[in-house]
Amino acid sequence: MAEAERIIDTPDADDAGGKTAVAAERPVGRRKILALFTVAVVAYLLDLGSKLLVVAKLEYHEPVKILGNALELTVIRNPGAAFGVGTAYTVIFTIIAAAVIVVIARLARKLYSLPWAIALGLLLGGALGNLTDRIFRSPGVFEGAVVDFIAPAHFAVFNLADSAITCGGILVVLLSFRGLDPDGRIHRN
């Protein structure tokens, strides 16, 4: 099989002793786990801090207008997903967020790409931010409503965790289209 045609993670039939070509293709360098967790912690703390601040200063008050009518800060409690969809399924969204965190933690062991570390860190920080609300905010554990407060005109109200998740998701799509794998390898199809 030609080198360019070899499928990643498949054994090379010509290897002596049954060793696979995968060992030779593994990336060199350090894993990017620290970068992933640094981005996740920063995203999480920014989300948590902003929610604590807006709940303390803005809840039960008139919205604060920024940029005229283009953007305002107002506190709403969202028990559902994006755009208020699925308000009766708060427990399901809690389970999904926990599953995303577990998947990212497992991917971290094979992470050698800095762009993937940033993307997954954003996803992890955002998922942790909204999961914290779902666990610790009223009406109760696993049923808590997420605090949303950024309200652009003619758009849904969201928070910094939602922004981190969206940016991380877009970055994952772009990296996938470019052929960059989390382990640092590039594949072309």
Determine the number of helices (DSSP H) and then strands (DSSP E) in the chain: 5, 3
Query: Which structure tokens are listed for 165?
Result: 């998740």
Among 9, 12, 15, 148, the active-site one is 148
SS3 percent helix, strand, coil of the chain, rounded to 5, is: 55, 10, 35
Q: Tell me, what amino acid is at 65?
A: K
Does residue 12 have an active-site annotation? no
Q: ω before 152 within 30° of 0 (cis)?
A: no
Distance of alpha carbon 78 from alpha carbon 134, whole angstroms: 10
Contact criterion met (CB below 8 Å) for 164 and 80: no
Distance of alpha carbon 122 from alpha carbon 178, whole angstroms: 19
Contacts for 37 with CB less than 8 Å, ≥ 6 apart: 108, 121, 124
Does residue 9 have an active-site annotation? no
175, burial (CB in 10 Å: exposed 0-12, middle 13-18, buried 19+):
middle
Among 47, 162, 181, 183, the active-site one is 162
Residues acting as catalytic residues = 148, 162
